[in-house]
Chains A and B, each alone.
Chain A
Amino acid sequence: MSSHILSLLIFIPAAGALLMLIGHRFISGNEASEDSGKTADFHKWIAAVFTGFQLLLSVWLWLSYVPNGGIQFQEHHAWIQSFNIEYFLGVDGLSLPLIVLTALLSFIGVVSSWNIKKSVLGYFSLLLLLDTAMMGVFCSLDFFLFYVFWELMLLPMYFLIGIWGGPQRMYAAIKFFLYTLLGSVLMLLAMLALYFYTEPHSFNLIAMIQSGAAIRDTFWGMDIRMLIFVALFIGFAIKVPIVPFHTWLPLAHVEAPTAVSVILAGVLLKMGTYGLLRINYPLLPDQVYIFAWSIALLGVINIIWGALNAIAQIDLKKMVAYSSVSHMGYVLLGMAAVVSTSAAGSQAGINGAVMQMFNHGTITAMLFLLVGVIYEKVHHRYIFFPKDYKDPELAGKLAFGGLAGQLPIYSGFVALAFFAGLGLPALSGFISEAMCFIGGFSVFRTLTIIGTLGILLNAIYFLRSYMHIFLGPVSNAYKGLKDMNGRELLTIVPLAIIVIALGVYPKLMLDVISPTMNSLIKLVQSMAMMVGIN
């Protein structure tokens, strides 16, 4: 099994989706009617079982991964031989945490979607297809394969937002789709450029580390290496999203159904930074040196801008969405530290960035799930109602307040998630944020000092919204509200455990990722030297 575990991981969900489509015919008979309860249950359970199995596999992968063993579980087959395209999969310390994260959030996404009513078959099969695509992105080591999965992801996402989303779903879905597609186009160009400039022509990301160093050309007077870097960077930046390419995010997050928001924020955003670390860094290390300051600057802008926007939001979900923008800024700041001359600084930065990717995935997933829980109960998410709300009387009645007394378990978990979000020590966010700052500070002092304002700004919006929703006098509208049920707890508790465990004992994660990331730092630094001298 171990030789094909990655293929299994990728295609299990797709198989599940296929089984759903086939099974649907058998169970519902020939009448192509609306989903009956029976078929709906069938689809849910298929989705849960397949993603659950995938999760178990990914945990097994984590356990059998050897931290110092380089790229493992490789699968290497020719695919389209005339263009030297390969089916090349592999796992290292960079992708492993994200693979586990993907499997975990997919499973949680399925469980949290249990109450979906509209077209159950379509929803769950698209969710599983999305799962396949995401897993494929993180496992691929061939750029073409990577690109195929990258694009495959868009399709289910588009429908999931566009069909099962909120009131503005079509607008959000189209915006998301087009924006991301713009990035894909740039990425495609860069990919083809890399393909044609390397000798022999190849999409193999590992082989290109060596052959890519030899690329020398100019295009309209501009260095081709720089052009490729920028094109890839913008492509990935849209996904992260880096300010100013970020405005698709709040809308898409707010309109998407809970599970999709969870996956969008938890996994999809990481693909941007993952792509940068997987492709830009090893392939164009000299450009990393040229752009490091800009990346750090963008990181700091992300931190501050995202936080300022989050403070101003009155919609809880939008606030959480903007907090993602802010939190991804830490990743960028940490990543920029790769150029640090101090070994401790660069290691803290890069490892912190990868940890922050994982930690943000779990924390933001918790946040979105919790927002979903309250939305399902009370059907609104206003931290405070807007002044021009269409029905002021209703707004006055429905305004949140004092929920901590009504929903002790729920508010406890929200507190945990908020505290994790604002970087409280002993919770996972603190470790990675601190490491990103330490890394950033070793190179970009002023920028990092400005960035530390994020520590305060993040606390402001989390605590303010917590106060408005959970503290203060109890609102009469919410007396007798039921606390979280077992299914909701099942989605939250594992994430809460991870958040605490990684906050108290970050070694669990760091030992797995640091060998890979340290060798990436060495690679970038030495290759940059080599390319620079030539």
Chain B
Amino acid sequence: MTPTLMFALAILFLPLLSFAFQIFFGSKIGRAAHWFSLAALGVTLSLALSFFANIFITPGYALLDVSAVWFSSGSFTVELGIYIDNIAAVMLVVVSTISFLVHIYSTEYMRGDPRYTRYFGYLGLFTFSMNGIVLANSLLMMYVFWELVGISSYLLIGFWFEKQSAASAGMKAFLTNRVGDIGMFIGILLLFMQLGTFNIQAIAEQVEFGAFDGTGLLLTIAGIMVFMGAIGKSAQFPLHIWLPDAMEGPTPVSALIHAATMVAAGVYMTVRIFAFLTPAALEFVAVIGGITALMAAIIAITQVDIKRVLAYSTVSQLGYMVMALGVGAFQAGFFHLTTHAMFKACLFLASGSVIHSMHHALHKIDDHSTDPQDMRNMGGLRKKMPITYISMVVASLSISGIPFFTGFLSKDAILAGTLAYYHLHHGWTIFLPISGFGAAIITAFYMFRLIFMTFHGEPARKDIHEHLHETPGAMTTPLIILSVLSLAFVFTIPSTVNPFNSQGWFTSAIHTGENFAGLDMEVVGEALHHAHEPAMMISLTVAALGILAALLFYLFKVVDVEKLTRRVNKLGLYNLSFHKFYIDEIYDAVLYRPFFWYTKVVAKFDWELYDQKFIDWWGWLTLKISDWSGYSDYTWLDQKVVDGFGKATRYFGKELRLSQSGVIQNYILGGVIGILSIFILFQAF
């Protein structure tokens, strides 16, 4: 076993060890048990960083590519393997960093929770599963960990299971994901049946050497099917509905799972299978991403729950990443995954900080009915919580795509990608840049709406405001670290100091993706290069416009928002956004209710009709037949036929008895008559 492999295994299993430790010993040790998890995650992080350092030493090669047979029946073999290349190494750092920071953050945020240690256990389970996805070299192994992150997400969303909404949200998340997972599983089956392997590299290789001939329709279908998994996990339209509900979980969990890592797993998986996605499949991917990005952004405008705004923002940003991969902007998509992980985790943790503080304040004034997450109850928090405020502003600038911040670099590249795609394909593909830039302007708007509503202006509730405090160091330190990681220079220096140039060390480390299924990456690269500058201009303009609008609406209050809302709502637009395009309602009416009604019908049919009527009818019939045969046997055969013989004999005996007169002469007379008749008879013949 090489040290590399040992390190990789340690990265994978240390968090699992933390899970086992917390589950079995956590409750006995109490609060101090979190040190074990922190230590485990710390080691994981440092090991991940060591891999990360390696991608600069030996670029272009897989750091680790090992497989071992998991189980085999001779011809059917399933292997487990670890594959670490530059992308996996970056992803490992992202996961470990955020997980570690969230662990630290949670020590304060979850303080005093009755299931404190269990919480850390679940976090460990999640980190283990997530690292498994990152390290997996085969689709089946990825699917295994895919399900495991699903279950850890289920456990963490429903962590405060006493709340009915939390319990339902966990279930909704798991089931919605399963819909996508079915597609992914079918896709895996298709690829396995065609190529005989689950290994991602092997699949890509076989595709490269023409395993799928002809139109590649089957490969397209397989690709789209596998991508279905990403639609579920990365909350893409139409399976995005679970993510906003998932905000019922503790906020650090939202930061870790539902913003930075797990939801990005779908994107990561698409990155992994990018090499064998056909142009047709990629087109599908791009459209899904485009729809999601725009739709989620529109919904985010009107939400009042601070976490829901961020949730829809996450959906929208994930749409960006997916769209980027769809249009072939491979680097940009993965880059955005990384930058988004940092600034969105920062945003969530900052919102968590606000909620935490609100919660304590509400607790102090003994108010249990006010929602601590509703932005309408906040306002003016800037002074009370300066660190939170600054980090949130940094992250917001980043997500809005302002130069000097990371979001600018990656988002700009994505927008260039959509523009390039339009240049190459024309026609309806104009939708993609429209969606991209449209979502960009909206993103800038709603993020600063959030900032202004929360931190600026007059406090909405003076009584709460008085008791607000900046949160402890364990919570603010991760915020500071993450906001620093949201600064552009982290990803560009020392390669370049130009804030408008995204070609830093990061992009050179992750290379351009390869595609063996018919997409010419050089053409795409060329188009990207040309689209770069116009895209930057437009994106800067729209970001500025978005922020400006937010300033006018919410900070300077030049425009009366209420009035505007009413006016817009004449067309039902406000309600459409506020009610999330009524998608939940539609699903409820079209899918859930009919489905449960249908199961009821099925069960009724199965039991009351099929069993009780049809199956038992056979029993009834048998009983009837046996009744009838019993009746005929006794009443007819026995009583009539058998006894009939007896009765007849008796009757005749009774009648004939009379002939026994006892007078011998009569007998003789009879005899004589008999003899005479015989004589006469014989004479006659």
Contact = CB atoms under 8 A, between A and B. Distances in A.
Interface of A: 175, 178, 244, 247, 250-251, 305, 308-309, 311-313, 342-345, 347-348, 351, 402, 404-405, 419, 424-426, 430-431, 434-435, 437-438, 441-442, 448-449, 452-453, 455-456, 459-460, 463-464, 466-467, 470-474, 505-507, 510-511, 514, 517-518
**Among A311, A449, A471, A518: residue with most chain B CB under 10 A:** A471
Contact of A471 (B144, B167, B186, B611): B167
A20 to B, nearest CB: 35
B179 A510 contact: no
Contact of A309 (B164, B167, B168, B603): B603
A424 B149 CA distance: 11
Contacts of B181: 455
Contact of B162 (A343, A441, A474): A474
- 4 closest Cβ pairs, A-B complex: A312-B603, A471-B167, A343-B75, A247-B611
15 contacts: A178-B619, A244-B610, A425-B147, A426-B148, A431-B71, A437-B185, A438-B76, A438-B189, A455-B181, A467-B171, A470-B161, A473-B163, A474-B162, A506-B71, A518-B75
Given A347-B73, A471-B161, A452 B148 contact: no
B76 A343 contact: yes
Q: Size range of the interface on B? A: 35 or more
Contacts, number: 146
Contacts of B596: 311-312
Given A247-B606, A250-B607, A467-B168, 15 more contacts: A178-B619, A309-B606, A313-B603, A343-B76, A424-B151, A425-B147, A426-B144, A431-B71, A434-B140, A438-B189, A452-B185, A453-B182, A467-B158, A467-B167, A467-B170
Contacts of B602: 305, 308-309, 312
Contact of A404 (B76, B161, B599): B161
B192 interface: yes
Given A250-B607, A309-B602, A342-B193, A514 B171 contact: no
Contacts of B196: 342, 344
A25 B179 CA distance: 62
A426 B129 CA distance: 11
Nearest to B605: A309
Contacts of A467: 158, 167-168, 170-171
Interface in B251-278: none
B74 A343 contact: yes
A471 B185 contact: no
Given A426-B144, A472-B162, A456 B611 contact: no
B73 A455 contact: no
A426 B604 CA distance: 35
Contacts of B170: 467, 471
Contacts of B598: 308
Contacts of A463: 154, 171, 174-175
Nearest to B161: A471
A26 to B, nearest CB: 44
B137 to A, nearest CB: 16
B625 interface: no
Contacts of B71: 431, 505-507, 510-511
B143 interface: yes
A404 B163 CA distance: 12
B70 interface: yes
Contact of A507 (B70, B145, B175): B70
Given A312-B603, A471-B167, A351 B147 contact: no
A41 B189 CA distance: 54
**Among B75, B148, B181: residue with most chain A CB under 10 A:** B75
B586 to A, nearest CB: 19
A348 B76 contact: yes
Contacts of A348: 73, 76
Nearest to B604: A312
A510 B73 contact: yes
Contacts of A471: 158, 161-162, 164, 166-167, 170
A459 B178 contact: yes
B167 A456 contact: no
A470 B140 CA distance: 32
Interface string B272-296: 0000000000000000000000000
